[in-house]
Every structure is written in C-alpha cells, then in structure tokens.
Amino acid sequence: MDIMRKKFFKNCSTLVLSFFLILLITACGQTNSETELSGSEHQTWAEKLGFPSDKRVVIFHADDAGMVEEANEATIYLLENNLIQSAAAMPPCPAYEEFIQWAIDNPQYDVGIHLTLTNEWGSYHWGTVADPEEVPGLLTEAGNMHRGVLQVVMNATPEEVETELRAQIEKTLALGYRPDHMDTHMGTLFGSNAFTEVYLRLAEEYRIPAMVIDFANPEVVKAYKEAGYPVSDELLEMIANYSLPKLDYFSSVPKGDSYEDMRENFMEQVRNLEPGLIEIIFHPQYATEKTKNITGSWQQRQWEVDVFADPVVKQFFEDEGLIFTNWIEIMERFDRM
C-alpha cells in the first residue's frame, strides 16, 4: 500500500464494527433489566414522530431485492400480503430493473435503494453502475465488486464511492422511481468515517432518508463502548448533525439450527426490544437450485420468507402490541414535526 492508502486504512472508522454490534446486542435487542434506553432523559425517535412513548414501533425490512428473481418474488409476496413493511433493492444486480418496475406500479409500498459496493458471492457476479474507468478502486481485476467491506475500504477512495453511489441513485431516478429510503449493503458505508460522510450527505442532498442509528442517548453510546467498540467524537458529531430521521435500534433476524429454533430466536429477540423506532432486516429469497448454487445461506433465506407468514408469529406480533410503520410514514410524520 502507498502512504495515503495506509493512512486511509488506519483511519478507518469503527462504525462498521458498530453496525455489526447493533446486530449482536442481546440477540439484537436490549432488555429492561439491562439498561433503560428509553428513559425519561432521552426522547426516542418514535416519540419525536408522534408515536406512543411506551410502544415498540417496528419496520421489518427485506434486503437484497433485485439480486435474483427469487428474491424479488419473495419480497413482493411479503409486501403484498402486508407481512412486512419495507424493502430495498440492489442497483448493480441483474433483477433490479424488474423490481423497480414493480415498485413504480405499486407506489403504496415502501421500497428503498440498497446501496451496493460489494459482491460477496463467489460464483455470482456484478460490477459497478458507474463507468469502471471512473471507479477502479471499487473493482477487482476481473471487473467485479470486491467481496468484502475491508477490501472496499482498502482499495476505494471516498470520491470513487460518491461517484458510484450517485450513479446508483441516478439510475433509479432515470428508471422513473424515487426511492423511499436508502441503506447500505453489508454495512459498507459504515466502513470509514469518509464513506459515512458521503452516505449521509447524499441522503440529505436527495432528501432520501438513510438507515442510521441515533447516538444521542448516552446509554446507547455506553453500550457500544462497553462492548469494546470505540465510538469516535467524529462519528458522534457526524450523526448528531444529520438532519433526517434516525432509528433508535437496528438488528437482523437471528439464525437457528432449524426453522423452529430460528422462529423462537426471532420471537425472543422481539420480546426483548425496548420502546422506540426499530428496524429489523432480513434477506427473503425462495430456495431454488439456482439460489442454492449462489449462496450457502439459502436455507435461512427461505425460512425468513416462511417466518413472517407463520400464523404463530403473526399472532405473537399481535399479542406483543407492536406498532408497524415504514419510511413513507416516517417522512410524512417528520415533515409535520
């Protein structure tokens, strides 16, 4: 590496680690007995947006639409049956345009842009939306995006990241669709403060809300630091200055050794969530020979389709008194604040 690349890597923010920490905190949720994250001294984003202060306001969010047709079909099934509230699609992927056309035809559903800078699958490839000559640091010698977050951080500049993100957003707008929100595939845009700055700045510029967690609550910051993930003053200031809505909590659907095990882990995760605005992500995809050959997580992805249609889980959500929302409603409430 040259000196500048070494300096850039050395300064790589621990926000990418914080992103994964959110997935890990007590099976992706804090319990009342551990810490009162919605205490009287901190107003949650759910409260700011006008939801009851004692309620868990939840977005179940499907990632990775657009990757393959099987992901599109599973996501559309869950949205059209009101089993989930939100989804996002990957602009560089082959089935993206198909999913965006469905979103154009069905504007009542919350569909965002899953900003993608990595290509994690060994046998299933995609490149950049931007001209490869403009973003060489985002590509391998074979012309594919890098497989991991660290490879992107080590090889791509913030300028290249901005070029590619703009290309993905502008591609979507050119298709005739304005995304309801934006988020980041594999947390790559939390891989360095420089990447995060681009992410949040573009969200504000296009006024498309980004998935970001609020660090205004000192108990949240404390939880991160106690778990060994430093949260820098630069990061805190950056997120504090971000002007669009934020989440109080963020997590992902947990795994399991069997469907029943995964379902119970998921329900336990939900039981432990504190009041606030919460997004829980997952990756629904129908299992076919094609998807089995692409990803080793095909079984989990199929279970993640099944679990939201499970009558046991649907009754559980009702018994838990969850309030459901999406980014369309969040922005409507935000504009009235």
pLDDT category of residue 284 using cuts at 50, 70 and 90? very high
Q: What is the mean pLDDT of the chain?
A: 88
pLDDT category of residue 95 using cuts at 50, 70 and 90? very high
> Comparing 35-44, 103-112, 243-252, which segment has the lowest mean pLDDT?
35-44
Q: Would you state the torsion angle of the CA atoms of residues 328, 331, 333, 337, taken in this order, to the nearest 10 degrees?
A: 180
Asked if residue 36 lies in contact with residue 281, where contact means CB atoms within 8 angstroms, the answer is no
DSSP label at residue 146: P
pLDDT category of residue 22 using cuts at 50, 70 and 90? very low
- Asked whether the predicted pLDDT for residue 159 surpasses 80, the reply is yes
Residues of 84-115 as b/e, b for ≥16 C-beta within 10 angstroms? Answer: bbbbbbbbbbebbbebbebbeeeeebbbbbbb
Closest C-alpha among 123, 126, 146 to residue 136: 146
Q: What's the CA gap between 51 and 333, in Å, rounded?
A: 10
pLDDT score, position 32:
37
pLDDT score, position 224:
63
Interval 207-225: pLDDT, tens: 999 999 998 878 777 776 6
pLDDT category of residue 157 using cuts at 50, 70 and 90? very high
Q: What's the CA gap between 320 and 305, in Å, rounded?
A: 21
Q: Average pLDDT of 21-49?
A: 54
Residue count (the chain): 337
Mention every residue, 6+ apart, whose C-beta is less than 8 A from residue 129.
Answer: 91, 92, 164, 167, 168, 171
At 93, give phi and psi (nearest 5°).
-90, 160
- Asked whether the predicted pLDDT for residue 4 surpasses 70, the reply is no
Q: Average pLDDT of 86-96?
A: 98
- Asked whether the predicted pLDDT for residue 256 surpasses 80, the reply is yes
pTM over 0.85: yes
Q: Average pLDDT of 31-39?
A: 38
Domain 3-27+44-335: CATH architecture, name and number where available? Alpha-Beta Barrel (3.20)
